[in-house]
């Protein structure tokens, strides 16, 4: 075999594969650098131990979790572990001990706080939480399990399978964002997109605090704020009421829509009415109030509702970011 033929058959393919791998890494690098971290914290160490009685789940749920965990172990393979904390089946490329730590430090406090503040219905069906330590393993399992590619760098929730997929390398708050979707799905599944994403993204940067006998998930400022303030400065902020009638937040203004929904939820929390709003809205029912407008009118009064955009914009302008930082 002459030298040219040898180079064509053996060296060229090796060079091509190496170049492809390098190109993939170079292309991915800026994306990963752009990902903003989401941090969730439990600041009050006594919050959980002093919390009121633990919720009691239907014992049949434990049996369902055990059976689902067996299926999940087979699907994930030997690289991953699976642990059970009803209603959750928690799996991912961590050891059993690490997955339990995720449960005790993040999943459990966030769930308890949501039960205290918002949820009227305990989950009656299992919820799978799949945690992956970086974008490589996350991308791999998204594609292997569901054929999903590049849906979100942080994570997403699949309602049909009641499964959360999350890249916890982007921060514990990404897990709490998706956990909020999973818990709302069994409590208020007809909630409009603005409330689903507003509350979930509020929780991606939040702390759990104890207020009297209740745990509370208090939102903090995060990377979504500058985009919102910039839009306000440039006069591009539409009246907040237009958010309520949006059938989807996923359009060319997606990032701004998410920021509006998140900071409107933080505004409601700062006014002390977020929990009341969620519960009243859910209990009123989708047919009575599909967008939340009537519930807000009821809580704020007709006149203040008319002034809502002005008041929200003023609050946003004057928001003390130090007081809301983690
Ligand atoms: Zn979401």
Ligand 1 midpoint to CA 2 (Å): 59
Can you give the pLDDT at residue 30? 37
Can you give the pLDDT at residue 82? 98
CB atoms within 10 A of CB 58: 14
84 and 69 Cβ atoms separated by less than 8 Å: yes
For residue 91, name the pLDDT band (cuts at 50, 70, 90): very high
User: What is the second-level CATH architecture of the domain 41-214?
Assistant: 3-Layer(aba) Sandwich (3.40)
Report pLDDT digits (tens) over 185-201: 999 999 999 999 999 99
Beta pairing partners, 207: 41, 218
DSSP class of residue 325? Answer: -
Ligand 1 midpoint to CA 13 (Å): 42
Can you give the pLDDT at residue 50? 55
For residue 44, name the pLDDT band (cuts at 50, 70, 90): low
Ligand 1 midpoint to CA 298 (Å): 27
Q: Is 293 exposed, middle or buried (0-12, 13-18, 19+ CB in 10 A)?
A: middle
Ligand 1 midpoint to CA 52 (Å): 29
Can you give the pLDDT at residue 179? 98
CA distance 152 to 119: 26
Which is nearest to 171 in space by CA: 138, 204, 196, 142?
204
Beta strands in the chain (DSSP E): 40-42, 81-85, 88-92, 127-132, 155-158, 163-167, 206-211, 214-219
Ligand 1 midpoint to CA 4 (Å): 55
Ligand 1 midpoint to CA 21 (Å): 31
Report helix, strand or coil for 163: strand
CA distance 106 to 75: 25
DSSP letters, 65-93, are: HHHHHHHHHHHH-TT-EEEEETTEEEEES
Report pLDDT digits (tens) over 225-267: 999 999 999 999 999 999 998 888 888 889 999 999 999 999 9
Stretch 60-68: mean pLDDT, rounded?
A: 95
Global pTM value: 0.86
Q: Which two tokens stand for residue 191?
A: 């909630």
Ligand 1 midpoint to CA 3 (Å): 57
Q: What angle do CA 18, 19, 25 make, to 5 degrees?
A: 95
Ligand 1 midpoint to CA 152 (Å): 10
Ligand 1 midpoint to CA 275 (Å): 19
Q: What angle do CA 298, 302, 303 make, to 5 degrees?
A: 140
**Residue 216 CB partners (closer than 8 Å, separation 6+):** 113, 116, 117, 208, 209, 210
CA distances from 86 to 21, 35, 49, 56 (A): 41, 31, 19, 10
Mean pLDDT, the chain, integer = 87
Domain with CATH 3.40.30 in the chain: 41-214
CB atoms within 10 A of CB 28: 13
For residue 27, name the pLDDT band (cuts at 50, 70, 90): very low
């Amino acid at each position: 075999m002459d030298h040219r033929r040898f180079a064509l058959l053996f060296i060229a393919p090796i060079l091509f594969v190496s170049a492809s791998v390098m190109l993939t890494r170079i292309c991915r690098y800026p994306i990963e650098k752009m990902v903003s971290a989401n941090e969730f914290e439990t600041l009050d160490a006594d919050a959980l131990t002093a919390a009121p009685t633990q919720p009691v789940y239907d014992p049949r749920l434990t049996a369902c979790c055990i059976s689902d965990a067996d299926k999940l172990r087979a699907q994930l393979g030997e690289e991953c572990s699976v642990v059970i904390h009803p209603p959750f089946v928690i799996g991912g490329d961590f050891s059993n001990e690490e997955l339990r730590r995720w449960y005790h430090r993040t999943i459990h406090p966030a769930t308890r706080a949501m039960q205290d503040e918002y949820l009227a219905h305990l989950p009656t069906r299992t919820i799978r939480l799949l945690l992956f330590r970086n974008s490589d393993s996350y991308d791999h399992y998204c594609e292997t399990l569901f054929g999903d590619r590049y849906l979100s760098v942080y994570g997403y929730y699949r309602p049909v399978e009641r499964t959360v997929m999350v890249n916890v390398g982007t921060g514990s708050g990404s897990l709490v964002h998706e956990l909020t979707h999973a818990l709302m799905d069994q409590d208020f599944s007809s909630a409009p997109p603005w409330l689903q994403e507003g509350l979930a993204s509020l929780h991606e940067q939040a702390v759990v605090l104890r207020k009297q006998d209740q745990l509370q998930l208090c939102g903090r400022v995060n990377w979504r704020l500058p985009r919102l303030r910039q839009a306000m400065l440039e006069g591009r902020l539409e009246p907040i009421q237009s958010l309520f009638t949006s059938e989807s937040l996923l359009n060319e203004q997606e990032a701004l829509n998410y920021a509006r929904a998140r900071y409107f939820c933080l505004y409601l929390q700062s006014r002390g009415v977020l929990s009341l709003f969620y519960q009243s809205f859910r209990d009123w029912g989708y047919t009575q109030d599909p967008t939340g407008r009537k519930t807000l009118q009821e809580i704020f009064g007709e006149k203040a509702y008319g002034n809502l955009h002005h008041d929200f914009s003023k609050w946003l302008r004057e928001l003390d970011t130090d007081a809301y930082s983690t």
